[in-house]
Every structure is written in structure tokens, then in C-alpha cells.
């Protein structure tokens, strides 16, 4: 079910976003409880937020300052209270082995908060060996929503206290910014534009995701390209859902050649391609072999120590000449069974290098769902938006589009992109979006949101 959100009376401007983001919050020491303020209580395992659900405390999809998910942290004697911002006097507490909201004056509302390192905390019942805990994951299902209070250990009992107004810092000079500090305008279904060629069967092609060809998108500042690639007797072809009945479809190598030619002419630019990938690895490799100059610009984070040392700066990428990053949503496991993994020829597995929120805000018209949660959280996969590793922060792909591209809806949604990025998705991921992916980037000025995010760092 799609849950409508309360719309603001006016959209947040780029200037307001930048001003709010660069106002630093008091820094907490590595071994200290965070200072008083408004926080999300966020599971380390799932990335979901503790929310008041009619008295029961459950983990819910992050919804910014909606959904009763914000808690005001303040000291109380030797412990701390977490008061719900939507219900003054009601605090996150305990009732037996269940997490409940209780009166802030009750003893069951007090928590002993203990730092666990890496910005993680345990919330314990003072004087008892009981902690706020996510229930274990049953076979074939996700972690249960209700939170418990018990003897849980490890990451199930570990929590982030994420500031509602996240701290930010000044952006380094251009060229000294690491890749994960920069935000790029990204075109969802960039090939589905009706200019370069066909992309869908009749009638479906009446709703293009973009209105300008790839070369014009590059000229307009688009630096991320989401492409759906299907296997046909002609190779790897760009189509939406299926290439059946598609007139004049474009081959993947053609659009990649356009991008490579652009990069060779603009040595200071960086481009990322995201493949929704339905082809065999051998077919994809043969398609890439047709792109002249690809090997000269292809960036290989797996061979340059990124996971150990973090992302390079844009100056370092320009100096090396490696300025095209290609991701696939295909799984490494499936490729292993096929006998050829895509990273052997330079295509990175996206789940290993990025996090990404769910791909849709709802139907093409009507209300939208602004909740920001991982695309890869289901019965078989748990990759929270909050995922980080020592020395390495995944790139964050923020999707901001609907099931169908309706121009008037896209214009309205794109005008609110900065607001959703700041209030919903940035705290949900505990990182700034690297890619803002939209339909009809020519409407609603999403480039203003990109510019605003490029004025600060997080954290």
C-alpha cells in the first residue's frame, strides 16, 4: 500500500537546503552519548526507524518528520529519556519484553545508553541485562516490525542515534572532493527518450521517461544514466521491459560510445552508468568490446584500493583518466554459475559498491510515498541504506520517480526533490545522496537540488 504524505505549503528552496545543511550540530565524542536533541533511533541491521505505532514501538520505513519516528533525547538522572516529538510526555519505554511508549515520568521510560563504537549505541534497561532489540529474522521473511526488550546481543541490539537535522560541513574546493562527497544529476531510464530511437512497444512509448537524447542530456549536466539492457539476437539492446515490437531500438554500445566520446572531449567530467541488466555476461562483454576508447576511461574501484582507502578525489580521477563507472544490478552469484563474472571486464556489482532506496514513489498520478528505505531489504536480502565499512562509504543512489512518467507529476515531484533529500533520504541513509535519479530532468529544476547538495558534506 502506498501511504500519502503531508505536502508542504511551499517547496524548500535550494538556498534553504544549503543553509540548513551546513549548520553544524554539537559533535559527540567517540565514547559519549550524543548531546540533547531530536534523533531517529535507527536499527544497525535493517536501517529502519523506531516508531510509535499506537503505543507499540515498531521498526518502520524512514519517513522523515512524519510517521511518529522522531525522538527528543535528554538526560534524566543517571539515564536518558527519548520523548516522541509528536506526543509530548510519551517516551520510548518498556512493558515486559516489549518496547512500548510510556509516560516519560515512568521508570520504564529511562534508558542507559552505552556507546558501542562506530557511532552505534546500546539502549539498556538500567540495572538489568535487557536491551532494545530487533527480533531475529525468520526463514523466508524480513525481521518482525515490533521491537523487543531482552538479552539480545550483537548488531540486533545496536542502534544509530541519527540527528533529525544532520550535521554538515563545508565542501572542499572543486577537485579535492571525493566521489562520495559529490552529488550528480541522474536520468532514470535515460534511453527512454523518443529522440535517439524506440524504447518500448506502441502505447507504452507514449510515456517517455526523458524528452532529450543522450548527447543533449550530457550537455545539460546529466552525469548518471540508468539504462535497461535486454538480450536479443542483435546483442544487448536498450528497451523497457521487452524489446518485442520496439521500433528502431538503440544498442547499448551506441549510447556508451556517446558517453565515452563526451568524456574524451571533456577530461574534467565523471559519468556513471547503471545497468538494469537482463543479458548474459558474455553478451555484455561483447557489447562493451565494440565501444572504442572504453578501456581508456573505465574506472575500476576494485583495482584501485577504494574499499580499503575510500573513494578518490575528482582531481585524482581526472589525472588517471578513469572517469566512467559502470554498475550492474545483476548478482555475482548468478554470474559465477554462468562461469563469467562481470567485474572481470570492468562492470561492478552495484550491491557491493552502493546503497539504493526503493525505486518508486507510487503510481504516475495521485499521492506519493516519500518513505526512504533500501531497495535491497526483503526476505532474501538485507542491505540497509545505512551500510558502511571501516574506511569505505558506499555511494548512495536516491531514486525519486514514480511507476509511470507523467510530465505534470514529474514536474511537481522534481520541484520537491531537495526537500525529500534533506528531510527523508539523507537521515535514512546517514549519508548524502551521490546520485539524484529523476524522470523528466528538464522539468521542476532538479538541478537546483543537486547544486544545493554540492554545497556541504555529510557528516
CA 166 to chain centre: 16
User: Which residues, listed in sequence order, are joined to residue 73 by a DSSP beta bridge?
Assistant: 37, 82
* Residue 326 · residue 347 · CB < 8 Å: yes
Quick check: 185 pLDDT over 70?
Answer: yes
Q: pLDDT by residue (tens digit) across 318-338?
A: 999 999 999 999 999 999 998
Name the residue among 15, 14, 22, 9 with its Cα closest to residue 445. 14
CA pair distance 337, 330, nearest whole angstrom: 12
Q: pLDDT by residue (tens digit) across 192-242?
A: 999 999 999 998 898 999 999 999 999 999 999 999 999 999 999 999 999
What contacts 279, CB < 8 A, 6 or more positions away?
229, 230, 231, 236, 287
What contacts 455, CB < 8 A, 6 or more positions away?
18, 21, 22, 171
User: Count of CB atoms within 10 A of residue 106's CB?
Assistant: 12
* Residue 14 · residue 452 · CB < 8 Å: yes
What contacts 390, CB < 8 A, 6 or more positions away?
118
CA 458 to chain centre: 14
DSSP annotation of 141? S
DSSP per residue over 272-334, as a string?
Answer: EEEEEEES-HHHHHHHHTTSTTHHHHB--GGGTTHHHH-PPBHHHHHHHT--EEEEE-S-HHH
Quick check: 19 pLDDT over 90?
Answer: no
CA pair distance 98, 147, nearest whole angstrom: 6
Q: pLDDT by residue (tens digit) across 378-397?
A: 999 999 999 999 999 999 99
**Amino acid 459: pLDDT:** 83
CA pair distance 102, 89, nearest whole angstrom: 8
3-state secondary structure of 373: coil
CA pair distance 396, 398, nearest whole angstrom: 6
User: Which residues, listed in sequence order, are joined to residue 328 by a DSSP beta bridge?
Assistant: 275, 349
* Residue 101 · residue 90 · CB < 8 Å: yes
What contacts 370, CB < 8 A, 6 or more positions away?
5, 63, 64, 66, 361, 420, 424
Distances (CA, A) of 368 to 55, 405, 429: 26, 13, 20
Q: How confident is the model at residue 22 (pLDDT cuts 50, 70, 90)?
A: very low
At residue 417, what are phi and psi to the nearest 5 degrees? -60, -45
Name the residue among 325, 343, 323 with its Cα closest to residue 333. 343
3-state secondary structure of 110: coil
Quick check: 16 pLDDT over 50?
Answer: no
Contacts 24+ apart (CB under 8 A), 174-178: 174/314, 175/313, 175/314, 175/315, 175/318, 176/313, 176/314, 176/315, 177/313, 177/314, 178/310, 178/311, 178/312, 178/313, 178/314
Q: pLDDT by residue (tens digit) across 74-111?
A: 999 999 999 999 999 999 999 999 999 999 999 999 99
Across residues 308-324, what is the average pLDDT?
A: 97
Percent of the chain with pLDDT over 70: 93
Q: pLDDT by residue (tens digit) across 25-81?
A: 334 445 699 999 999 999 999 999 999 999 999 999 999 999 999 999 999 999 999
Q: Is 37 left (phi over 0), alpha (psi -120 to 50) or beta?
A: left
For the whole model, what pTM was predicted? 0.93
Amino acid at each position: 500500500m502506498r501511504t500519502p504524505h503531508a505536502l508542504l505549503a511551499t517547496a524548500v528552496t535550494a538556498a534553504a537546503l544549503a543553509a540548513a545543511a551546513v549548520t553544524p550540530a554539537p559533535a559527540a565524542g567517540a565514547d559519549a552519548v550524543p548531546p540533547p536533541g531530536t534523533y531517529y533511533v535507527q536499527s544497525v541491521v535493517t536501517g529502519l526507524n523506531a516508531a510509535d505505532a499506537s503505543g507499540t514501538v515498531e521498526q518502520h520505513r524512514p519517513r522523515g518528520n512524519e510517521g511518529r519516528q522522531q525522538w527528543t533525547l535528554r538526560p534524566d538522572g543517571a539515564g536518558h529519556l527519548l520523548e516522541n516529538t509528536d506526543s509530548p510526555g510519551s517516551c520510548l519505554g518498556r512493558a515486559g519484553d516489549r518496547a512500548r511508549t510510556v509516560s516519560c515520568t515512568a521508570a520504564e521510560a529511562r534508558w542507559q545508553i552505552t556507546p558501542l563504537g562506530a557511532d552505534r549505541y546500546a539502549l539498556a534497561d538500567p540495572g538489568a541485562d535487557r536491551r532494545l532489540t530487533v527480533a531475529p529474522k525468520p526463514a523466508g521473511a524480513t525481521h518482525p516490525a515490533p521491537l523487543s526488550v531482552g538479552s539480545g546481543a550483537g548488531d540486533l541490539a545496536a542502534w544509530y542515534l541519527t540527528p533529525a537535522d544532520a550535521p554538515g560541513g563545508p565542501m572542499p574546493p572543486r577537485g579535492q572532493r571525493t566521489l562520495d562527497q559529490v552529488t550528480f544529476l541522474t536520468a532514470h531510464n535515460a534511453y527512454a527518450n523518443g529522440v535517439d530511437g524506440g524504447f518500448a512497444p506502441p502505447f507504452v512509448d507514449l510515456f517517455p521517461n526523458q524528452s532529450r537524447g543522450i548527447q543533449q542530456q550530457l550537455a545539460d549536466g546529466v552525469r548518471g544514466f540508468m539504462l535497461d539492457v535486454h538480450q536479443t539476437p542483435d546483442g544487448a539492446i536498450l528497451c523497457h521491459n521487452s524489446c518485442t515490437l520496439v521500433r528502431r531500438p538503440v544498442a547499448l554500445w551506441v549510447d556508451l560510445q556517446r558517453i565515452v566520446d563526451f568524456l574524451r572531449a571533456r577530461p574534467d567530467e565523471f559519468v556513471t552508468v547503471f545497468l538494469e541488466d537482463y543479458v548474459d555476461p558474455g553478451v555484455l562483454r561483447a557489447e562493451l568490446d565494440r565501444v572504442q576508447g572504453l578501456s581508456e576511461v573505465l574506472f575500476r574501484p576494485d583495482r584501485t584500493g577504494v574499499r580499503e582507502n575510500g573513494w578518490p578525489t575528482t582531481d585524482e580521477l581526472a589525472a588517471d583518466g578513469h572517469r566512467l563507472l559502470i554498475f550492474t544490478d545483476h548478482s555475482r552469484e548468478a554470474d559465477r554459475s554462468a562461469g563469467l563474472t562481470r567485474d572481470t571486464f570492468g562492470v561492478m556489482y552495484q550491491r557491493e559498491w552502493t546503497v539504493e532506496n526503493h525505486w518508486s514513489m507510487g503510481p504516475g498520478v495521485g499521492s506519493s510515498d516519500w518513505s526512504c528505505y533500501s531497495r535491497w531489504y526483503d526476505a532474501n536480502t538485507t542491505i540497509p541504506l545505512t551500510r558502511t565499512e571501516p574506511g569505505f562509504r558506499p555511494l548512495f543512489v536516491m531514486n525519486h520517480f514514480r511507476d509511470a512518467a507523467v510530465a505534470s507529476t514529474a514536474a511537481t515531484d522534481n520541484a520537491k526533490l531537495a526537500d525529500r533529500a534533506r528531510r527523508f533520504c539523507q537521515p535514512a541513509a546517514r549519508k548524502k545522496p551521490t546520485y539524484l535519479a529523476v524522470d523528466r530532468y528538464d522539468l521542476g529544476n532538479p538541478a537546483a537540488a543537486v547544486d544545493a547538495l554540492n554545497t556541504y558534506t555529510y557528516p
